[in-house]
Structure 1
């Protein structure tokens, strides 16, 4: 089953099954995007694994890492299009410091 995905005219959102989702910051360097996506995938897997084990503390910790990844990508938090270039860089660098640490 393939979902139809549209982009809004301004490029800020994708629309999947009628629901609008913020896109990642297009200013992200490719290596930064790859690192953040890797962390996000590991965190999502952690949510699933901890949930299956019934470990609520681990679920909360993994969800916090998902939040960091999504914020670093620009998909959550202050909208990337409202941030200066310096603020955008600071956002993804802070997320990576927290995720790599």
Structure 2
């Protein structure tokens, strides 16, 4: 029913690509990613979103807000929810991108 960028193919349907909440369309997580990678990226995403909330409080460090938003963006890219449409990319490339994002997030976490 809705417009699906990249068209429908034999891999996924529009319903598998998009989640609609209150009339707003959100890209779903790449279903080809291993569950442990999705779990780890989702954990990083939750912690980064919490850091955004904390950094938005009055008197908070603006650099902390920028850092937290960058971590949200990195996790969302790793999950396939931002950046190039996951269904337009080869599975191996998508998994490599997710693992790279996860490694970068882990390195950022270990440097704190």
Instruction: State the TM-score, normalized to the length of structure 1.
Output: 0.88
CA shift at 1:89, angstroms?
Answer: 1.1
Compute the RMSD of aligned alpha carbons. 1.3
Which consecutive aligned stretches of 4+ in structure 1 deviate over 6 angstroms post-superposition? none
1:39 counterpart (21, 44, 56): 44
Equivalenced residues, count: 94
Q: Distance in 2 between matches of 1:15 and 1:43?
A: 23
Q: Distance in 2 between matches of 1:90 and 1:72?
A: 9
1:15 maps onto 2:20 in alignment: yes
Larger radius of gyration: 2
Q: Distance in 1 between matches of 2:34 and 2:91?
A: 12
Structure 1 unaligned spans of 5+:
1-7
Moved more, 85-94 or 67-76: 85-94
CA shift at 1:46, angstroms?
Answer: 0.4
Structure with more contact order per residue of length (Cα contacts < 8 Å, sep ≥ 6): 2
Instruction: State the TM-score, normalized to the length of structure 2.
Output: 0.80
Write out per-residue CA displacement over residues 14-35 of structure 1, whole angstroms, 9 at most, x where no aligned residue: 1111111100000111111110
